[in-house]
Amino acid sequence: MPSLQEVADRAKVSIATVSRVLNKSDKVVPKTRATVERALSELGYRPSRVARRLRMKEGHAHLVGLIIPDIQNPFYAEIARGVEDVAYANEFALLLCNSDENLEKERFYLNVMQAESVDGIVLPPFDDTDPAVLEMVASGMPVVCVDRSLAKTKTDLVEVDNYRGALEAVNHLIDRGHTRIGLIEGRAQVSTNRERRRGYLDALAARGIAPQRELMRAGDFKLASGRVLANELLELRRPPTALFVGNNLMTVGALAALHQRGLRVPGDVAIVGFDDLPWAEALDPPLTVVRQPAYEVGRRAMELLLKRLAAPGAPVTTVRLRPELVVRRST
Amino acid sequence: MPSLQEVADRAKVSIATVSRVLNKSDKVVPKTRATVERALSELGYRPSRVARRLRMKEGHAHLVGLIIPDIQNPFYAEIARGVEDVAYANEFALLLCNSDENLEKERFYLNVMQAESVDGIVLPPFDDTDPAVLEMVASGMPVVCVDRSLAKTKTDLVEVDNYRGALEAVNHLIDRGHTRIGLIEGRAQVSTNRERRRGYLDALAARGIAPQRELMRAGDFKLASGRVLANELLELRRPPTALFVGNNLMTVGALAALHQRGLRVPGDVAIVGFDDLPWAEALDPPLTVVRQPAYEVGRRAMELLLKRLAAPGAPVTTVRLRPELVVRRST
DNA sequence: TTGTACGCGTTATCAC
DNA sequence: GTGATAACGCGTACAA
């Protein structure tokens, strides 16, 4: 890997001149520029982003961190794609990490990102009060929250109207004649989850249906918990006739439980889940879901970050996207 | 972000001493060490990985690059997970990029990685002769190929026995009584694809079935091409009674085409795909597939890279994993 | 217009 | 045992 110095030597100029050529400074006469450019290409010079980052003030790394709970979850994969596409279009690279909904891992990666002097970070906070993220924000690092939000601190944020999504989903179930509607929700500390629960409760209340504690179960957003909680609900003396499930993975788990018990969907039990799935169409039956515009979430988040880098002092902005009820054949 | 210097000032020692404390050098008397450690924690010192990387010889960045065609493809997401888990366990961070099977993007990201002085790179080459990757290898950068291999150059490599997988899949179809078996394959320049095609051909030959050119179609590994090619095959005057599809996304596309035409699976047309899918069980019908141990591929690849970093001069090693035919209900 | 020299935060090699 | 000090590769005031 040739350095500026080697190029300068070969072109018989100083490193300052080479640097100027590279940085498109106009203060260099055509002839010198030509010489330098030849040396540059002959040596196959590649600037070191590391050295550059060390020298420059923050905000010029062209590197951003993205922390997501699990890249194997299609919802987050789609967000990641949105972030990446905008990043690439602006020649930014991505430091991508899985937190596994694990505070330790998140903290480790956050440290790495700070130590790498990334320009900014995009992530869904672990919960409302995520201390590691709070620290990061306090340190002045640009942070854009996606999906979930922080309780007291306000950062740039892209979120989806979870309340509305849940409301529509449960209304849809009620319209189909269901009154015993089971809820399989996620971790209570997560803002999105609370919104979805609120939507569930309000939808019932609006139709004069009393919520039943035994029909509400909390899981951890993972597939297995969808399966076990669905089984718990189905084993009730008066089982629900419909299920509203709080995220994609738990929905698949619940569906598996239904199949395993030989229940017909939606004949015996209807099911609607939050988050769309890549092949929801090909599932048995095609799943009715509340679709979140995940790609859009990622895209907007990265755009917000770019805007923030351009105007560090600007007030924070919140983007709120609308989910969409996609009715297929599980309801 | 406090620097070594600031810590040194506060502890009234030199930066050399602080550095020694940090690097666990024993050449420092307990009392000084205590002072320094207090200053360290009071200031909340965090070492700069950037400065460190600039100073150190290569191989100490604790950062590796991973380039995959598409993070939204569950096969690659699983590989990424495998790589990440091993990386995290060894305190390595990941620079993750989507190449979109696009040489330009791949080249851009490869450049970034080199400029970032990553310790090594894991990727499935675009094709046999991928010039950007060849350059990278030539430059001395440790590269581990996964899934696909390079034609002339030998690097550390983790691959799956694609030939065997295809052989088993097509044998299975023949065992079920099929003789008109359509092939939907991917890009011919990709090593894995050629192996799968060879398996298809050999399986037919072994049972005395003459391959028919009209039954073989080449796509681009994407969902849409699975759909259109399946449609082409189904519109033949003598359509196939079974389909062998070259990757997961094209399989879903083909399945969609079958559904759309109101064909029964496997009654009218049987289908077996390469690569498992996360919810293959929940599909209609549950899909018979050749499962690749993708997580394992990622895991082993990162382990190979780690080994390479420990012993730069060692001969390259190839890991070959076995795929597994998972028979479900589409055949 | 071009060159010199400094500093970014480290690690490592010397002296003391 | 500890402290100066020289790199690492780059950008940029400042001098020429």
In order, the DSSP letters of A232-283 are HHHTSSS--SEEEESSHHHHHHHHHHHHHTT--TTTT-EEEEES--TTGGGB
**Is B15's CB less than 7 Å from nucleic acid strand D?**
yes
CA B34 to CA B45: how far, in whole Å? 15
Please tell me whether any atom of strand C lies within 7 Å of the Cβ of B55: yes
Determine the Cα–Cα distance for residues B116 and A22; give it in Å rounded to an integer.
Answer: 18
C1' (C12) to CA (B56) span, angstroms: 10
In which band, very low, low, confident or very high, does the pLDDT at A1 lie, cut at 50, 70 and 90? confident
Q: Evaluate if residue A281 carries a pLDDT over 90.
A: no
Average pLDDT over residues B10-32: 91
Q: In percent, how much of chain B has pLDDT > 90?
A: 94
| Tens-digit pLDDT profile for residues A38-52 | 999 999 999 999 999
Separation CA B308–CA B156 (nearest Å)? 8
Strand C atom within 7 Å of A174 CB: no
Nearest of B280, B266, B289, B133 to residue B196 by alpha carbon: B289
In tens, the pLDDT along A139-162 reads 999 999 999 999 999 999 999 999
Residues of A in contact with B116 (CB under 8 A): 49-50, 63, 93
Interface test with B, best of A116, A265, A295 (most B CBs within 10 A): A116
Cβ–Cβ below 8 Å for B282 and A256: yes
Q: What is the pLDDT of residues A217-239, one digit of tens each?
A: 999 999 999 999 999 999 999 99
Contact B78 A72 (CB under 8 A): yes
Half-sphere exposure of A129 (CA within 13 A, CB side): 2
- The closest CB to that of B71, out of A81, A97, A114, belongs to A81
Average pLDDT of span A287-302? 98
Give the one of A50, A93, A285 whose C-beta lies nearest to B54's C-beta: A50
How far out from the chain centre does Cα B307 lie?
18
Cβ(A65)–Cβ(A37) below 8 Å: no
Name the residue facing A117 among B48, B117, B277 (closest C-beta): B48
Quick check: A277 contacting B, CB < 8 Å?
yes
Query: Which long-range contacts does B57-62 make (Cβ < 8 Å, 24+ apart)?
Result: B58/B117, B58/B119, B59/B119, B59/B309, B59/B312, B60/B119, B61/B116, B61/B117, B61/B118, B61/B119, B62/B91, B62/B92, B62/B93, B62/B119
* Whether residue A284 has pLDDT greater than 90: no
Q: Dump pLDDT digits (tens) for A190-216.
A: 999 999 999 999 999 999 999 999 999
Tokens standing for A104? 């330790």
Taking residue A235's Cβ as centre, other Cβ atoms within 10 Å add up to 9
pLDDT category of residue B226 using cuts at 50, 70 and 90: very high
Q: Which two tokens stand for residue A124?
A: 């869904």
Q: What is the predicted pLDDT for the residue at A279? A: 86
> Across residues B61-89, what is the average pLDDT?
97
All residues of chain B having their beta carbon less than 8 Å from the beta carbon of residue A111 are 46
End-to-end CA distance of chain B: 61
Decide: CB of B3 under 7 A of nucleic strand C: yes
> Which tokens belong to B214?
């009209």
Mean pLDDT for the stretch of residues B126-153: 95
- Cβ contacts (< 8 Å) between A95 and chain B: which residues? 93-96
Q: Residue B104's pLDDT is what?
A: 94
Q: What is the mean pLDDT of residues A69-90?
A: 96
Query: Could you say which nucleotides of strand D lie within 7 A of any protein CB atom?
Result: 1-5, 7-13
Structure tokens at A158: 């892209």
Taking residues B29-54, report their average pLDDT.
95
Q: What's the rounded mean pLDDT across residues A107-127? A: 96
Is the shortest CB-to-strand distance from B15 to strand C under 7 Å?
yes
B297 CB contacts (<8 Å, ≥6 apart)? B79, B82, B146, B147, B158, B159, B160, B321
The C-alpha of A44 sits at a distance from chain B's nearest C-alpha, in angstroms, of 11
Whole-number pLDDT of residue A27? 78
Mean pLDDT of all residues in chain A? 95
Contacts of B199 (CB under 8 A, 6+ apart): B162, B163, B164, B165, B166, B167, B169, B170
Instruction: List Cβ neighbours of B225 (8 Å cut-off, separation of 6 or more).
Output: B184, B219, B250, B253
Measured CA to C1', the nucleotide nearest A26 is C1
From the CA of B65, how many Å to the nearest CA of chain A?
A: 9
Q: Do A108 and B96 touch (CB under 8 A)?
A: no
| Dist. CA A274–CA A323, nearest whole Å | 10
Determine, for residues A115 and B77 on separate chains, whether the beta-carbon distance falls below 8 Å. no
Chain B residues in contact with A285 by the CB 8 A cut-off are 284
Residue A177, pLDDT score:
97
Residue keyed to tokens 């026995």: B161
Give the chain A residue whose CA is nearest to the CA of B64.
A95
C-alpha A14: how far from chain center: 46
Tell me B283's DSSP state. Answer: B
The whole-number average pLDDT for the span B144-162 is: 96
Structural domains in chain B plus CATH codes: 4-55 (1.10.260.40), 63-160+294-322 (3.40.50.2300), 162-291 (3.40.50.2300)
Confidence band, pLDDT 50/70/90 cuts, at residue A25: confident
Measured between beta carbons, which residues in chain A are less than 8 angstroms from residue B97?
Answer: 84, 93-94
A115: chain B residues, CB-CB within 8 Å: 46-50
For residue B196, the model assigns a pLDDT of: 97
Helix or strand (DSSP H, E) at A167: helix A162-175
Any strand D atom closer than 7 Å to A102 CB: no
Are B109 and A97 in contact (CB < 8 Å)? no
Which range is least confidently modeled, A25-34, A264-273, B135-144? A25-34
* pLDDT at B282 > cutoff 90: no
Between the CA of B47 and the C1' of D7, what is the distance in angstroms?
Answer: 19
Using a CB-CB cut-off of 8 Å, the residues of chain A touching B281 are 256
In this complex, the answer to whether residue A20 has its CB under 7 A from any atom of chain D, a nucleic strand, is yes
Partners of A63 on chain B (C-beta within 8 Å) are 116
* Residues B160 and B322: beta-carbon distance below 8 Å: yes
pLDDT of residue A282: 85
Identify which of B135, B124, B193 has the alpha carbon closest to the alpha carbon of residue B157. Answer: B124
- Looking at the predicted structure, is the pLDDT value of residue A248 above 80? yes
Pull the structure tokens for residue A232: 């718990």
Distance CA B144, CA B66 (A): 10
A329–chain B nearest CA distance, Å: 13
Q: Which of B63, B117, B278 sits opposite A48 (nearest CB)?
A: B117
Span B278-297, average pLDDT: 93
Number of A:B CB contacts under 8 A? 124
Query: B25 pLDDT exceeds 90?
Result: no
CB < 8 Å from A in window 36-95 of B = 46-51, 53-54, 63, 71-72, 74, 77-78, 80-81, 84, 88, 91, 93-95
Nearest residue to A146 via CA among A306, A300, A322, A326: A300
Partners of residue B318 on adjacent β-strands:
B157
b/e B77-101 (16+ beta carbons within 10 angstroms → b): bbbbbbbbbbbbeeebbbbbbbbbb
**Whole-number Å distance between alpha carbons of A77 and B73:** 9
Which of B48, B77, B109 is closest, CB to CB, to A72? B77
Give the C-alpha separation, A144 to A91, whole Å.
19
- pLDDT tens digits, A259-276: 999 999 999 999 999 999
Q: Taking 90 as the threshold, does the pLDDT of residue B73 lie above it?
A: yes
